Amino acid sequence: MEKATFAAGCFWGVEAAFRQVPGVIATTVGFMGGTLPNPSYRDVCTDRTGHAEVVQLDFDPNKVSYEALLDTFWKIHDPTQLNRQGPDVGTQYRSVIFYHSPAQEAAARASKKRLEQSGAYSRPIVTQIAPAAEFWRAEDYHQQYLEKRGLASCHLP
């Protein structure tokens, strides 16, 4: 198993999308990239902790490549939106690829460069690529939030 961590807006929709990818074994929503130890959802929503809402994946690299996960990441959000996705606004909704190894960093940078060169977007891609930091698990009621409520998605592609 390997880990991957992505921030692409509200973690409920991001988690739901990644749970559909064959080879993703487990998903956990939480927070990464901030300064407050063990933040709560309420803390992060103040937009003062520096954390992003993230989904951390356990995946089987024999069944799904990291590059395929990156493709999913780019498809499920608008990487040109700075500190927002759809109606959600704040730094906690920023677009970030948190890498766990030099190979993931290289793949993320190459993937972003390909997307930039593709001309798919008229605005600059603002997605950050940063080393994975401490992961703080969100409260239980956030885990598989949409699935628990019988919803397929709340995410805006």
Confidence label for 153 from pLDDT (cuts 50, 70 and 90): low
Candidates 6, 30, 16; CA nearest to 96 is 6
Q: What is the pLDDT of residues 1-42, one digit of tens each?
A: 999 999 999 888 899 999 999 999 999 999 999 999 999 999
Packing angle between helix 66-75 and helix 102-118, nearest 10 degrees?
A: 40
Identify the three-state secondary structure at position 19: helix
pLDDT tier at 157, thresholds 50, 70, 90: very low
Percent of the chain with pLDDT over 70: 91
**Complete domains list, the chain, with CATH:** 2-148 (3.30.1060.10)
pLDDT score, position 139: 84
d(C-alpha 23, C-alpha 26), whole Å: 9
104-129 pLDDT tens trace: 999 999 999 999 999 999 999 999 99
Contact 125, 82 (CB under 8 A): no
154 a catalytic residue? no
Residues 6+ apart with CB under 8 A from 37: 136
Q: What is the pLDDT of residues 129-148, one digit of tens each?
A: 999 999 999 987 777 756 66
Taking a C-beta distance cutoff of 8 angstroms, is the pair 133, 32 a contact? yes
Selected catalytic residue, list 4, 7, 8, 10: 10
